[in-house]
Copies of this chain bind each other. A is one copy, B any other.
C-alpha cells in the first residue's frame, strides 16, 4: 500500500480528499509501523491545532474498512499500519516500544497437521513481540 493507491481507493468509493486525510496517509507511509490513535494526534497536532480524536478515529476506521490500513490490538490499544500488501498473507514481529515490524512469511495455518475439528475457523492471529535493536539499545 502507498499514498497514491490509498487515495485512488478513497476516490473509487466516493470519499473526499481532505488535508487531514492526506496527512494521515502520508504519516502512515512515512512511518511504516504500527501507530495508535494518540500517535497520530501527536504527529499532526502541531499542524492542526483543533485536531480531535473524533476525526482521527473516524478516519482510521474508514481506512481499515477500505483495506488501506491493517490493525492489531496491543495492550488494550488498537494500532494501525499501512497494509503491507494485499496479495500475500503474512504475519508480523512487532516492537512493543515503537511499533516497528518485520514480516514473518511462515503461517502456522499452513501446517498440514493443524487440527481444527469441532470448530468453524474464521480467522487467526500470529504475532511475535519484542524490541527492535534501536529501542533495545535506548532502553537498556
A interface, CB within 8 angstroms of B? 73, 76, 78, 93, 95-96, 102, 104, 106, 108-109, 111, 113-116, 118-133, 136
Chain B residues, CB < 8 A from A130: 116, 119-123
Classify the secondary structure of A's interface with B.
strand
Task: Please tell me how many copies of the chain the complex holds.
Answer: 2
Whether B116 pairs with A128 at a CB distance below 8 angstroms is yes
Contact of B129 with A126 in the complex, beta carbons under 8 Å:
no
CB neighbours of A78 from chain B (8 A): 76
Q: Is the CB of B93 within 8 A of A119?
A: yes
16 A/B residue pairs, CB under 8 Å, sorted by A: A76-B76, A102-B119, A104-B115, A106-B113, A108-B126, A109-B128, A119-B131, A119-B132, A119-B133, A120-B133, A121-B128, A121-B129, A124-B126, A124-B127, A124-B129, A126-B126
- Chain B residues with CB under 8 Å of A121's CB are 93, 128-130
The CA of A133 and the CA of B118, in the complex, are separated in Å by 6
* Interchain CB contact under 8 A, A125 and B124: no
* Closest beta carbon of chain B to A76's beta carbon, Å: 7
Complex-state Cα separation, A73 to B126, whole angstroms: 13
Please pick, from B93, B106, B123, the residue contacting A129 in the complex, using a CB distance under 8 A: B123
Residues of B within 8 A of A106 (CB): 108, 111, 113-114
